Each structure stands twice: as structure tokens, then as C-alpha cells.
A and B are shown apart, each in its own frame.
Chain A
């Protein structure tokens, strides 16, 4: 769909960027030491930290990706919401206390607390960097995807704008400014999503029994695009995709429902018939590609249960192997949150364990509430009549446009700050890993505090530039795949080491190093050899992929645990033999 740039959206966006940069520069004067730069001196109030957790965690994938997936396929997007939230239970009950107790700046600190080993620091530093960069790519791609329709700028400019603003935020005041940016973003996101949900419920549903015509996008061999048979453009006679998203039948033959309660919303949809759009791509011999979008009236009862989308279609298959992919993803989401480095470093910004607990509880409340809203937002977008069948990421902003232009501008600007908040957390986590874990382990001299902050700022710039370049290179990649994968890598590499260190006395230094490396390498390799990557990255047939299903978690997470136990047992024995030998001498 061709979107026109909204002046109001540009203005509100600029105001928000100005506000966040202003706060960063103001706070920048306070963060001179490394304790200030990496951990905000441990002085962030728990309430602020809790909302910042939400700002850190609710990335573009949550806001744009989940809403879009629900708007296109129904319940399936909500499965991500449930998995993403459930991961917080692991974070609070298992990881929060020890992280705060054992570490100072990075995840590697906590892992290394008992051993003081250079190997652990290096391995954990590399895995932090790998997970953060994996997570950064979809955020940057998302930024580019947003800027195109909203501000009328090309993809690469969106990536560069977001990258530059984030580098400025992180370099000026490190964790202090990052926290406040995330706090503002988290609060805005939850408040305005609530406003939007109330408006959806107030508007209710309307039936439009006439089935809209199918639409086509033809990309010719010379690169020209025809939409519905006309050249692409925004003029009156040019071809453009018509907005979609209608209900063909309401229960009892009603024409409109009027305002609905939060439960009535679902029970009405359950008995309605909704027009979904099926995409079909064909390539013809003259080198042109035709993508056809055909309307498909679907019973609401089918939309409101799992398994309707291609991602989770395995649920409805009778083969056990197809179901494994779903189980594997749900496991990775459950285990992944508590292993994400940019989330874990937030435990160092509060003063003690009690504050760490309280801020996690506030985080769970905000994030959980938001995820409840995603179901309303997504289904609201599905039936808003404003949906773009070619771009699921735009569902939430377009839903807002169907209500009012002002709301659209605000929601779009919030979507930008969503990217800003998460990216700044990721860049800070990466800079911490580079400075504190990698360089300090490799360097022969000890850095002074001042040097350390300078190195961290330089690494932030480098990571930021790398993120910009990757965001431009991978612009074709599907955003939600990558986020799921980042969770799988984080869970496979970091969780076994962290959990076993806490609960098994027999864990050895070598066991931890081996578990981190094996978990990271095996999950990355699995992803690179999976059918989804074959199809969407290399453009090869899905069937040629050696990995039996796309999500690695169900194999690689247990593999990480097994590696740790086996290596620890072997090295324990060796240690005992050395002791025995010494005793007998």
C-alpha cells in the first residue's frame, strides 16, 4: 500500500527524539565513572527500572510483529505473547537474585563470580555479542520498514536515523540515559495501547457482506511494479492496494454491534465470519512475479484458536515432527528471556536484591498487561478496514489511522521510540561485553576507570555502525523469525551455564566454558541449516535443509545442559586425581 507521509507524525517523532536526546545530554554529566556508565551507579529507583524493563523488552517485534501476526492470522501471534511473558517467570524466580548478588556490570560477571577465569569471561562475552547482534538486526530492519511509509523516506535512511540517535543516547550517558529512554517508551507504549484498545471496544464491529475483489502486485522483469493492473503510484489514477479487513457476517445477521465489553468482543468474533487474505506467489516465464491476494471468508471460531498461521500450522498436522517445531519455539521463548544479556544487565542498575525483585514484578505487570492488549489490538486491526495485506508490520499504526490521524501520528512516533529503547539497551550490553569481558580479559594492563568508559563509548559507536550496516544488508529478512532465533541462541548458550552454576556444586570452569560454546555454536549452526533459513535467506528449496525442523531450542538447550554435566564430571575427576596424586606424594 502507498502511504503518504504524515506531517503530524514527523513532528511528533522529532519532538520525541529531541526529548530523549535532551534527557541524555542532561544526564550525561552524571555518568563519568564506569559504574555510572554500565550500571547507572545502581541508583535507578525500582519503579522506574521496572517500567524500563518493559521498555527494554517490548521491542518492535512485540508491538509491530505480534499485532501484525494476530491481524493476519488470528490467535497465533498471541502464542508469542504468552511465551515472551512466561520467560519472565524464569527471570524473576530463578535468575534475578543471583544475578544481582554475583555480578557487577555484565552477564559474564555473574557466571564468573566463583571461578575468576579468563576463559569464562571470553566465552560469555562472545555469546553476549552474538545474541545482541542477532537481536539488533531485526530491530534495525524494523526501523527501516517503519520509516518508509510513515516519513516517506527510503529504508536505509530509517536505519541510519535510528542508528545515529541511539549511538548519541548511549555515548552521552550510557545506562543512565538508556534507562530513562526505556522508561519513557515503556510508559507511552502501555498507555497508548490502552487508549487504542478502549477505542476499539467503543467502536465495536460492523458487517460488510459484499466480498472485496482480489488484488495483485506484479513485479516485471525490468523492475517496474503494477498494482491491480496499473503502474504503482499515489495519484488518483495510479495503481494501489486497497485497504482490507472486514467482517462478512456478524452473529444474528446484525449490521453493527455498537460498543462491546472486553469479553463480548471475543464471543462476538467467535460467531462471526471474517475476511482474511490469502497470499499466493507465482512466477511466469517472462521473468515477472505475480503476488495475488485473495479474500477468504473464515469462521471466527477458527481464527481464535492456535494453528491458523503458516508458522504454527504444524499444530494442526497429524505428524509428531511438525508439532516439535512448535514445542521447540515455546521452550526457547520460556528459557530465552532470562538469558538475554540486555535484560540481565538491568539488574545492576538498582541498589539491592529487594529492588531487583520489585522492579521485575513491575516489569511483569506492565509487560503482561501489554500482551493482553495485543490480542485486542491485533483483532481490532484485522477488522478495522484499514489493513495493508502486503505488510503485516503496519497493522498497529494503520489501526490507529482508522480511528484518527492524531492517534496514528502518536502511535507511529511511539513505534519509533520502541526501536530506540530496545536498540540502545542492546548496544550498551554489547559495549559492556566488548570492554568489560573481552578486552579486559585479553589486555595485559588494567584499564583505569576513565579509559574503560572511553573504550566503552568507542565500542558503542562500533557496534552501532555494525548494526546500521547489517540493518541495511538484511532489509529483506522477516523480522519475527530473527527475534525467535535470538531467543533460541540466548537460551542454548547462556541458560544452562547460569542455572547449573546456581544449582549444582559440581559445576567446573571448563564445564561452563564448554556449555556456552557448544550451546551457541549448535544453535547457530542449526538455524543456518534450517528450512526457514534456506527458504527466506538463501532462496533454496526448504526440503534441502539438513535440520529436521526450524526451531533449535528443544535439541540445543538440553545439549547445553548435557555438555556442562559431562565436561564438569570429566574435569572434576581430573581435579580429584591431581589432589590424590599430591596427597600420595
Chain B
């Protein structure tokens, strides 16, 4: 498991994990921060929630763009255990 794609996946995973953990911990331990309305009259809970969804898609696109197809380890030619 030292392929380039796998390492890239892990890095992106930890970036998202930190972002997600920030949300969960803020919601649990600092509700007053979540209640603030930093921008547009919309509170941080909603902004952060939408940002988490947007970040998942953005990181997924980064992963899709940076993964190299030639880095894939190809499975055996046939996936059918009982070839006809």
C-alpha cells in the first residue's frame, strides 16, 4: 500500500478528517460559536455544514484529477472465477 494514489488518498482523508472533527467538536463544546452569524445573517452552523459538503466534493475532484491511472494495480484479467 505505498502506491502514489493511496498516499494521496490518505493525505486528503486526514485533511477532511480535521475539518470534520472541527465541526463536531465545535457543535459539542462551543455551541455559542456555532450560533454566531459571521456573514449574510446566516449562522456558522449552517455555513460550516455547507462547507463540509462542498469540501467533500472539492477534495474528491482533486483526488480524481491527481490520481494516475497507470498507478493502478490491475486485478487478474478475469474477474469471473468460473470462466465459460
| Chain A residues proximal to chain B, CB less than 8 Å | 33-35, 39, 42, 75, 78-79, 81-82, 85-86, 88-90, 92-94, 97-98, 100-102, 104, 263, 266-267, 270-271, 301, 304-307, 315-316, 323, 326-327, 330, 334, 348, 352-354, 357-358, 360-361, 364-365, 368, 371-372, 375, 448-449, 452, 502-503
Q: If the complex has contacts A86-B16, A306-B31, are A270 and B43 also in contact, measured as CB distance less than 8 A?
A: yes
Known: A79-B27, A316-B31, A364-B57. A42 touches B42 (CB 8 A): no
Known: A97-B72, A316-B31. 4 other contacts (CB 8 A): A93-B59, A307-B31, A364-B56, A368-B56
> Does the CB pair A368–B43 fall under 8 Å?
no
Residue of A nearest to B20 (CB): A86
List of A residues within 8 angstroms of B43 by Cβ: 266, 270, 301, 304-305
User: How many angstroms from the CA of A326 to the CA of B52 in the assembled complex?
Assistant: 18
User: When the two chains form their complex, are residues B45 and A357 in contact, meaning their CB atoms are under 8 A apart?
Assistant: no
How many Å from the CB of B14 to the closest CB on chain A? 9
**Docked CA distance A274–B61 (Å):** 39
Assess the A306–B82 pair: CB atoms within 8 A: no
Q: CB-nearest residue of chain A relative to B14?
A: A93
Cβ–Cβ contact A502 & B42, under 8 A: no
| Contact A353 B72, beta carbon cutoff 8 Å | yes
Question: How far, in whole Å, are A34 and B36 apart by their CA atoms in the complex?
Answer: 56
Give the complex CA separation of A303 and B7 in angstroms.
41
Partner of A85, one of B29, B37, B52, B84: B52
Chain B minimum-CB-distance residue to A370:
B53
Taking Cβ atoms with an 8 Å cutoff, the residues of B that contact A are 1, 5-6, 9-10, 12-13, 16-17, 20, 23-24, 27-29, 31, 34-35, 37, 40-43, 45-46, 49-50, 52-54, 56-57, 59-61, 63-64, 67, 69, 72-75, 79-82, 84
The answer to whether residues A449 and B82 also contact, given A86-B16, A93-B13, A334-B20 and a CB cut-off of 8 A, is: yes
Known A-B contacts A270-B37, A365-B57; A34 and B64 likewise in contact (beta carbons under 8 Å): no
Q: Which residues of A contact B34 (CB under 8 A)?
A: 305-306
Which residues from chain A contact B17 at a C-beta distance below 8 Å? 89
The answer to whether B35 touches A301 (Cβ under 8 A) is: yes
Is the beta-carbon distance between B9 and A358 smaller than 8 angstroms?
Answer: no
Contact residues in A for B67 (Cβ distance below 8 Å) = 354, 357
Whether A357 contacts B64 by the Cβ 8 Å rule is yes
Pairs across A and B, CB under 8 Å, 6 listed: A93-B10, A101-B75, A102-B75, A104-B79, A266-B46, A326-B24
Q: Which residues of B contact A368 (CB under 8 A)?
A: 53-54, 56-57
Distance in Å: Cβ of B61 to nearest Cβ of chain A: 6
Residue of B nearest to A364 (CB): B60
Say whether A93 contacts B12, CB under 8 Å.
yes
Q: Cα distance A260–B14 when bound, in Å?
A: 37
How many angstroms between the C-alpha atoms of A327 and B24 in the bound complex? 7
Q: Which 10 A-B pairs have the closest CB atoms?
A: A267-B41, A93-B9, A93-B13, A35-B80, A353-B72, A449-B82, A368-B53, A266-B42, A361-B60, A89-B16
> In the complex, what residues of A have CB within 8 A of residue B69's CB?
353-354
Q: Is the CB of B1 within 8 A of A502?
A: yes
Cβ contacts under 8 Å, A102 to chain B: 75
B45: A residues at CB distance < 8 A? 75, 304-306
CA gap between A353 and B73 in the complex, in Å:
9
Chain A: CB-nearest residue to B46: A266
In the bound complex, do residue B20 and residue A361 qualify as a contact, i.e. CB atoms below 8 Å apart? no
Residues on the A chain within 8 Å of B35, using CB = 301, 305
Partner of B41 from A81, A94, A101, A270 at Cβ < 8 Å? A270
How many residue pairs, one in A and one in B, have C-beta atoms under 8 Å apart?
Answer: 150
Alpha-carbon distance between A117 and B69 when the two chains are bound, in angstroms: 31
Q: How far is the CA of A266 from the CA of B42 in the complex (A)?
A: 6
Which of B20, B28, B40, B41 makes the CB contact (< 8 A) with A271? B41
Decide if A315 touches B31 in the complex (CB within 8 Å): yes
| A-side contacts of B20, CB under 8 Å | 86, 89, 334
Bound-state CA distance A382–B10 (Å) is: 40
* Docked complex Cα distance between A79 and B49 (Å): 8
In the assembled complex, how far is the CB of residue A201 from the closest CB belonging to chain B, in whole angstroms?
14
Complex Cα distance, B61 from A307, in Å, reads 32
**A35-B79, A305-B35 are contacts. A97–B5 as well, Cβ < 8 Å?**
yes
Q: Are A361 and B61 in contact (CB under 8 A)?
A: yes
Contacting pair B57 A39 (CB below 8 A): no
Q: Which of B13, B24, B53, B72 sits near A371, CB closer than 8 Å?
A: B53
**A residues near B13, Cβ cutoff 8 Å:** 89-90, 93-94
- Decide if A375 touches B80 in the complex (CB within 8 Å): no
Chain A residues, Cβ within 8 Å of B31: 305-307, 315-316
Which residue on B lies nearest to A449, using beta carbons?
B82
In contact, B28 and A85 (Cβ under 8 angstroms)? no
Q: Which residues of B contact A94 (CB under 8 A)?
A: 9-10, 13
Give Cα A340–Cα B11 distance, bound, in whole angstroms: 23
What separation, in Å, do the CA atoms of A421 and B6 have in the docked complex? 31
Partner of B27, one of A33, A90, A315, A449: A315
Closest residue of chain A to B36, judged by CB? A305
Most buried by B among A89, A352, A353: A89
A44 to chain B, nearest CB (A): 13
State the Cβ distance, A238 to closest chain B Cβ, in Å: 41
- Chain B's closest residue to A447 (CB) is B82
Q: Roughly how many angstroms separate A267 CA and B42 CA in the complex, as a whole number?
A: 5
**Bound complex: CA A393 to CA B37 (Å):** 30
Q: Are B72 and A354 in contact (CB under 8 A)?
A: yes
What residues of chain A lie closer than 8 Å to B24, measured between beta carbons?
326-327, 330
Q: Given the complex of chains A and B, what is the CA–CA distance between A182 and B58 in angstroms?
A: 25
Tell me which residues across on chain A come within 8 A of B29, comparing CB atoms: 323
Question: Which of B50, B60, B80, B82 gathers most chain A CB within 10 Å?
Answer: B60
User: Which A-chain residue is minimally distant from B6 (CB atoms)?
Assistant: A97
| Chain B residues closer than 8 Å to A39, beta-carbon distance | 79
Smallest CB-CB separation from B52: which chain A residue?
A: A82
Is there an interface contact between A372 and B74, defined as CB atoms closer than 8 Å? no
With CB as the reference atom, state the residue of chain B lying closest to A261.
B40
Measured in the bound complex, the distance between the Cα atoms of B1 and A278 in whole Å is 53
